[in-house]
Amino acid sequence: MSIIENHKTVGKPLIEGAKLSANDVCVFYGEKQAIYNVSLDIRQNEVIALIGPSGCGKSTFLRCLNRMNDTIDICNVTGEILLDGDNIYDPKVDVVPLRATVGMVFQKPNPFPKSIYDNIAYGPRIHGLATSRVDLDEIVEKSLQRAGLWNEVKDRLHAPGTGLSGGQQQRLCIARTIAVDPEVILMDEPCSALDPIATAKIEELIDELRENYTIAIVTHSMQQAARVSQRTAYFHLGQLIEVNSTDKVFTTPEHQLTEAYITGRFG
Amino acid sequence: MTDSTMTTRQKVEASMKRRRAAETRFRMYGMASVLFGVLCLVVLFGDIFGKGASAFRQTVLTTEITLDAEYLDITPASDKRALMNANYEGLIKQHFKTEMKPSGRKERRQLYSLISAGAGWQLQEEVLNDPSLIGNTISIELLMDDDVDQWLKHERGEETSNNRLSEKQLEWLETWVDSGALHTRFNRTFFANGDSREPELAGIRGAMTGTFLTLLVTFLLSFPIGVAAAIYLEEFAPKNRLTEIVEININNLAAVPSITFGLLGLAIFINIFGVSRSTPLVGGLVLTLMTLPTIIISGRAAIKAVPPSIREAALGLGASKMQTVFHHVLPLALPGMLTGTIIGMAQALGETAPLLMIGMIAFVVDVPSFIGDPSTVLPVQIFLWSDSPERAFTERTSGAIMVLLGFLIIMNTAAVMLRRRLERRW
C-alpha cells in the first residue's frame, strides 16, 4: 500500500450549505505529512463517520476541526476549515470560543477528578453561561438528562466523577460537552474503551443528539459507522479516498480500497 | 538445538537448577545490602543516642537560700535596675560558705567552683519575677558546674584517674548526694537557652529559632519561585534551544557543591547587596539558591505526571491555557510539588557548609527574634560544639543531633503522609 498520486476523492465530499467545510487541508508533524489535501463538507444535523485503518489520519483530521492539534508543537496545518463560512485557522481566531462551539469527546473517558456536578458545571462556569446557582443547576440537570445519565446519578451529583463505570464516565464526558451548548461535537472513537452494552447506549445517544448537533465520529467499528452515521468518509494513509452516504459506502463502494477495507481484506 | 535427543521440556527442566540458583543468589545479595544499610543506621543511632541521651538530664542542687535584703542592698520597692545589679553571686557564695564551712582560700575557691556561673542569674530571675521574695528564704534548684554534672551522671562510683574534682570537692558532693539535695532533673536549660561557653548553660534555643527563621525565609522564597518556574517551563515555555539550556542548567545547579552557594552568597548578597552577615535572612537566601533546583525539578516531574487526557478535556471544553493549568493541572500536581518542597527543605535544614561562608558560624548567645538578628542554625551549632574541648559539650553535641534528626524525621514523614493523603487516582 502506498500513497496514490494525485488522488481525487470519489463520491460526494462537497455538499451545499455545509456547517463545517474543510478545503485542501494538509497536516504535517514536523517533516512528516499526515494528511494529504483533504476536502470534506459536513452538513448540519448529520452524523458523519470517519473510518479507515490505524494511522490513516482520521483522528488527526478530526482534531483539526477544533484545533486540538495546536497543543502539539510540531504539528502544522495548511489549507482552510470553514465553520459557518469563517476560516477557523485564520490568525485572528481565538481557539477558546472555537472550542466552546466545536466540542470534543475523547477515546478514553476523561472526567475531571471532581464531583459529577463540577464536571458538568466547569464549562458553563468558565464561559459564564449561568448567571445564578439555579441556572447552573438547571444546565447540569438538562445536560445529564440529554446524555441519558440523569436517572443514574441524580442522587449522587457530588460523588466523584471518576467513581462511575466506564460507560457512565463517557456519557458524563458527553454531558460535559453538551453543557457548553456547542454546535458541533467531535467524537474520537468514543466507544473503543467500552463494553457492548455501554456502546449501545452511547450509539443511541448519538442518534438522539443528531437533532440538535452536528456530529463527526471517528470509529474503528464499521458496524458502528453503519448504525449511527448518515455519511461515511473513508481515509487511507492520510488521503480521503471516498465519501458517500453510509448506505452506499457499505453496499456499493465506488473505490476499490474502500471495498477492500469494508470487506475486511485489511485494516 | 545442540542436543537433539532432548525434548524442549527436558532442556527447560535441565536449566531450572541454574536459574533457581541465580535467583537465590540475587536475593541473598539484596538481603545483605539491606542488612548492611540497617546495621549502619543502628550503629549510628545507637552511638548518638548512647552519647546524647544524658544531655537531656541536668544536675542541680536543691537548697534553701535566704534572700538577705541587707546583703543584696535591695528592697521589694527597688527599681528594676537595682534588682538586676544586686550581687546574687556573692550571696550564693556567702550561703555556701556558712553552710559548708570551707577552711582557707583554696577550699573556698574549690567550693564555689562547684556551682555554675549561671546560679547567680537564677536567683536574679526569681527576684525579678517576684520582688516580694526579698528577705524571705526560698527553695531553689541551683545549676551545678559541668564537671559536677559529668561526675554525677557518668563517673560517680567509678575509679577514674583523670578526675577534675579534688578529694575535698568529692566529699562535699557525696554529702549532698546522700542528703538528696544533689540530683538530676530534665534539662530545661538545653531547650531554653542560647549558646554559652559554660556547657551547663548552653542550649539550642538560639540555634532552633535561627533554623526556623532561616527555613521560613527559604520556604517563602523558594516555594513560589520554584513552583512558578516549574509551571512556566513545563506548560508555557516554547520548546527551543534557550529553554533546553535553562533546563540543563537547572539540573547542573542541583549538583553544585553546597559550599559554592555559600561563596556566591558571600560575594553577592553580603558584598554587593550589603545584607548583614550571620543572619537568617542571608542564610535563607543562600539556602533558597540550593533548594530552588530541587523544587523546580520535582515540580516539573509532578506536572508531567498529570495525565494529558485531563489537559485535553479542559482544552476541549474551551478552557484557556491558563485556566487549564490553574484549575486542573496544578491541583493534581500540588501533592508532588509539596513533597519535593519538603524534601528540599529537609535538605536545607541539614545544610552546614554554605552557612559557614556567610558567617553563621559566629558564637551567638542571644536567641534571634527576627530575620535580621545574628544567629546560628542547628547543624552549625552541632559543628561548633563538636569542636569544644569540654566533655559536657560532647553529650550536648549528640543531644543537638538527636533534635535535628527528630526534625528531619518529622519532615520526611510529613512528606510521605502528604503524598498518601493527597494522591489521587485517575
CA B319 – CA B297 distance, rounded (Å)? 27
Parallel, antiparallel, or unpaired: how do β-strands A86-87 and A102-105 relate? unpaired
Binary contact (B316, A113; C-beta < 8 A): no
Domain contains B64:
yes
Parallel, antiparallel, or unpaired: how do β-strands A231-236 and A47-51 relate? parallel
Q: Looking at this predicted complex, what is its ipTM?
A: 0.89
Does residue B62 share a domain with residue B49?
Answer: no
Q: Which of B199, B234, B262 lies at the terminal end of a domain, its last residue?
A: B199
Q: Assess A65–B contact: CB distance below 8 Å, yes or no.
A: no
Q: Assess A73–B contact: CB distance below 8 Å, yes or no.
A: yes
Does residue B158 share a domain with residue B254?
Answer: no
Q: Domain range for residue B32?
A: 8-53
Q: pLDDT tens across A146-202, in order?
A: 888 999 999 999 999 999 998 999 999 999 999 999 999 999 999 988 888 889 989
pTM: 0.83
Q: What is chain A's Cα-based Rg?
A: 19
Is residue B67 within 8 A of residue B140, CB to CB? The reply is no
- Higher-confidence residue: A81 or B424? A81
- The C-alpha of B245 sits at a distance from chain A's nearest C-alpha, in angstroms, of 18
Does residue B240 share a domain with residue B98?
Answer: no
Does residue B60 share a domain with residue B30?
Answer: no
Q: Which of B292, B345, B343, B330 is nearest to B422 (CA)?
A: B330
Q: Which of B163, B182, B199 lies at the terminal end of a domain, its last residue?
A: B199
The stretch A54-73 carries a mean pLDDT of 90
Does residue B309 share a domain with residue B184?
Answer: no
Minimum CA–CA partner of A64 in chain B: B316
Is residue B256 within 8 A of residue B294, CB to CB? The reply is no
Joined together, the cell numbers standing for residue B149 give 554534672
Three-state SS annotation for A96-160: HHHHHHEEEECCCCCCCCCEHHHHHHHHHHHHCCCCCHHHHHHHHHHHHHHCCCHHHHHHHCCCE
Residue-wise burial string across A241-253, b where 16 or more C-beta atoms lie within 10 A, e elsewhere = bbbbebebbbeeb
Nearest-10 Cα torsion for A44, A45, A47, A50:
20
Contacts of residue B237 in chain A, CB cutoff 8 Å? none
Domain residue ranges in chain A = 10-110+184-262
Q: pLDDT tens across A183-192, in order?
A: 999 999 999 8
Domain contains B1:
no
Residue A31 has pLDDT above 60, yes or no: yes
Parallel, antiparallel, or unpaired: how do β-strands A231-236 and A214-218 relate? unpaired
Contacts of residue B426 in chain A, CB cutoff 8 Å? 113, 162
Minimum CA–CA partner of B237 in chain A: A73
Q: pLDDT tens across B274-332, in order?
A: 888 889 999 999 999 999 999 999 999 999 999 999 999 999 999 999 999 999 999 99
Joined together, the cell numbers standing for residue A84 give 459557518
φ/ψ region of A94 (left if φ > 0, alpha if ψ in -120 to 50, else beta) reads: beta
Q: pLDDT tens across A17-29, in order?
A: 889 999 999 999 9
CA B46 – CA B39 distance, rounded (Å)? 10
CATH of the domain at B388: 1.10.3720.10
CA A215 – CA A105 distance, rounded (Å)? 11
Ranges of chain B with pLDDT below 70: 1-4, 159-163, 423-426
CA A168 – CA A202 distance, rounded (Å)? 9
Question: Which residues, in sequence order, are CB contacts of A95 under 8 Å at separation 6+?
Answer: A66, A67, A70, B318
Cβ contacts from A onto B, under 8 A: 67
Res B134: pLDDT: 86
Is residue B370 within 8 A of residue B213, CB to CB? The reply is yes
- CATH superfamily assigned to domain A10-110+184-262: P-loop containing nucleotide triphosphate hydrolases (3.40.50.300)
Question: Which residues, in sequence order, are CB contacts of A267 under 8 Å at separation 6+?
Answer: A52, A53, A54, A261
Joined together, the cell numbers standing for residue B59 give 544536675
Domain contains B34:
yes
Q: What is chain B's Cα-based Rg?
A: 31
Is residue A67 within 8 A of residue A94, CB to CB? The reply is no
Q: Write out the residues of chain B at the interface with chain A, using a CB-CB cutoff of 8 A.
A: 238-239, 307, 309-320, 323, 327-328, 332, 424-426
CA A74 – CA A31 distance, rounded (Å)? 9
In this structure, what are the phi and psi dihedrals at residue A164, rounded to the nearest 5 degrees? -80, 165
Domain contains B3:
no
- The total of structural domains in chain B comes to 3
Domain contains B27:
yes
Question: Which residues, in sequence order, are CB contacts of B36 under 8 Å at separation 6+?
Answer: none
- The C-alpha of B318 sits at a distance from chain A's nearest C-alpha, in angstroms, of 5
Res A2: pLDDT: 64
Average pLDDT, chain A: 90
Res B79: pLDDT: 84
Cα maximum dimension of chain A: 58
C-alpha distances in Å from residue A71, one per residue of A66, A96, B244, B391: 11, 13, 19, 66
CA A154 – CA A145 distance, rounded (Å)? 10
Res B426: pLDDT: 45
Q: Which of B160, B148, B191, B214 is nearest to B396 (CA)?
A: B191
Binary contact (A122, B314; C-beta < 8 A): yes
Binary contact (A112, B316; C-beta < 8 A): no
The alpha carbon of B120 is separated from its chain's Cα centroid by a whole number of angstroms, namely 29
Per-window interface: A 77-136 vs B, CB < 8 A: 95-100, 103-106, 108, 110-113, 122-123, 126-127
Residue appearing with cell numbers 549502619: B40
Res A8: pLDDT: 82
